[in-house]
Amino acid sequence: MQSLISDIDSIDEIEVFGRVKTVQGLLIEVIGPVRELRVGGRVSIETQSGSHLACEIIGFRDGLALCLPFGPVEGVRLGCKAVFAGHDGAVYPHNGWLGRVINAEGQPIDGGAPLMRGTSPYTLRNIPLPAHERARVGGPIDLGVRCLNTFATCCDGQRMGIFAGSGVGKSVLMSMLARNTDVDVSVIGLIGERGREVQEFISEQLGEEGMKKAIVIVATSDESALMRRQAAYLTMTLAEYFRDQGKRVLCMMDSLTRFAMAQREIGLAIGEPPTAKGYPPTVFTELPRLLERAGPGLRNSGSVTGLFTVLVEGDDHNEPIADAVRGILDGHIVMERAIAERGRYPAINVLRSVSRTMPGCVPEDFRPTLTKARELMSVYADMEELIRLGAYRKGSDPKVDRAIALSPALEAFLGQRSDERTNIADGYNLLATILETMGGEA
């Protein structure tokens, strides 16, 4: 009833409309009562065939409203009627959305029943909680993946990036995390993925078990830039909705790079200047605005732990988006093609991965083991080339000898089948056993 009343209230009494003045590329300029409008508002353009094209107002220039469409612009003509809609960019989430696959508009795309409508509105472009009112990052969260649990421990309310080139195993890792992480709800945004991959991810990798406590938000690569960007906003909004119910939420996005590319398209369409790699300045203001929304909630409320993938093009870990994201998040997980090519999955380079909250959450008695394991791995990594070339002679350096002896066991520890799960304690024990039984002190 309440939602019906608010629905009725939100119906405009008068119709405000303008007319299409120009169409250039994706940009549609509308002339009309622009003083009535605001950035972020919606416009519905009536095309010649009688269909409606939803657009968002993204700016104003010379007395015209600049609009970008949510769908293809075919059929839009000069003079088409553009009705300004009262859409305030909000959704009404409901617990019944769990287990569903939806699009950026909050419509189901899994062929199931229509979604239930919740009672309170949640804005898509919410502002982050004020930093001083937030709880601190909590205790370790069990990701179920042992190389991360031990070497890059993630805490409740932490935000981490997963950096990798294409085909290195980001999506498979994401699905492992979605299935195995010890949280109440996972909200997964698939942004700008290929349609085929989305199907694969949902039906094969995530499976029924993973879907039970998850919501998947999808905007495929062929959808408009606005839809792809909005899918990221909606993902975050739904994570906030569950957080406000006191739940521990895992918010995942694959990938942030595609979100940045959508924002690049939007920025360039309205005439922003391109800067690094063609990315306009708004990309670098939108990224922190989005990512800061994840994190701990207010004290005594739920939390949003964030895991976001970043596609590093040409395996260049210093490209602008990777650089910007690394600066915003509390840690990064680096996946490498060379490791995947060796056949070790997940192809995580633990020496290059960092969790900034980790120093505070590793148990005191495990620290020496961890330090020793890291040292052995870095000794091996330094000598790897020489060892492979046969240029290292056994016995020259006891430390290197021990690193060589332990390397197969450590590699086996770091690798994990995608259907396997190891909790934090088991991971610690396993690593300790490897170090104790093989090599011990030098």
Ligand X SMILES: Nc1ncnc2c1ncn2[C@@H]1O[C@H](COP(=O)(O)OP(=O)(O)O)[C@@H](O)[C@H]1O
Residue 134 — φ and ψ, nearest 5°?
-85, 150
169: alpha, beta or left? (left if phi > 0; alpha if psi -120 to 50): left
What is the maximal distance between C-alpha atoms in the chain?
A: 87
Q: What residues pair up with 54 in beta bridges, in sequence order?
A: 44
Kind plus residue range of the DSSP H or E element containing 384: helix 367-389
Kindly indicate which of the ranges 61-69, 110-118, 160-168, 232-240 contains the residues binding ligand X, using the contact rule CB under 6 A. 160-168
Size of interface with ligand X, in residues (CB under 6 A)? 12
Does 171 bind Mg ion (CB under 5 A)? Our answer is yes
**Binder among 418, 421, 423, 430 for ligand X (CB under 6 A):** 418
Q: How far is the CB of 6 from ligand X (least distance, A)?
A: 40
State the pairing for strand pair 52-61/90-91. unpaired
Kindly indicate which of the ranges 19-27, 159-167, 319-327, 370-378 contains the residues binding ligand X, using the contact rule CB under 6 A. 159-167
User: CB neighbours (10 Å) of residue 273?
Assistant: 8
**Binder among 167, 273, 314, 359 for ligand X (CB under 6 A):** 167
Q: Is the dihedral of CA 163, 238, 180, 366 positive or negative?
A: positive
Closest to Mg ion by CB, 194 vs 394, is: 194
Q: Name which of 140, 143, 146, 141 is nearest 410 in CA terms.
A: 146
Q: How far is the CB of 78 from ligand X (least distance, A)?
A: 43
Does 168 bind ligand X (CB under 6 A)? Our answer is yes
Does 349 bind ligand X (CB under 6 A)? Our answer is no
Q: How far is the CB of 148 from ligand X (least distance, A)?
A: 12
Kind plus residue range of the DSSP H or E element containing 322: helix 320-328
Closest to ligand X by CB, 29 vs 254, is: 254
Closest to ligand X by CB, 171 vs 235, is: 171
Judged by CB under 6 A, the chain residues 14 through 53 that form the site for ligand X are none
d(C-alpha 75, C-alpha 48), whole Å? 6
Does 149 bind Mg ion (CB under 5 A)? Our answer is no
Binding mask 281-310 for Mg ion (x = CB under 5 A): ------------------------------
Q: How far is the CB of 346 from ligand X (least distance, A)?
A: 5
**Binder among 149, 153, 158, 171 for ligand X (CB under 6 A):** 171
Does 199 bind ligand X (CB under 6 A)? Our answer is no
Residue 343 corresponds to which tokens in the numbers above?
């056949």
**Binder among 100, 146, 159, 170 for ligand X (CB under 6 A):** 170
Kindly indicate which of the ranges 60-68, 151-159, 164-172, 273-281 contains the residues binding ligand X, using the contact rule CB under 6 A. 164-172
Contact (CB, 8 A) for 55 and 17 = no
Q: What residues pair up with 66 in beta bridges, in sequence order?
A: 29, 59
Kind plus residue range of the DSSP H or E element containing 122: strand 122-123
User: CB neighbours (10 Å) of residue 218?
Assistant: 26
Closest to Mg ion by CB, 167 vs 343, is: 167
Does 169 bind ligand X (CB under 6 A)? Our answer is yes
Partner from Mg ion, ligand X, none binding residue 166, C-beta < 5-8 Å depending on class: ligand X
Residues 6+ positions from 42 with CB-CB distance below 8 Å: 54, 55, 56, 57, 84, 85, 86, 87, 89
Contact (CB, 8 A) for 235 and 253 = yes
Q: Name which of 124, 46, 139, 129 is nearest 361 in CA terms.
A: 139
Closest to ligand X by CB, 168 vs 435, is: 168
Partner from ligand X, Mg ion, none binding residue 26, C-beta < 5-8 Å depending on class: none
Residue 142 corresponds to which tokens in the numbers above?
């069990």
**Binder among 346, 349, 403, 435 for ligand X (CB under 6 A):** 346
Residues that bind ligand X (CB under 6 A): 164, 166-172, 345-346, 417-418
Residues that bind Mg ion (CB under 5 A): 170-171
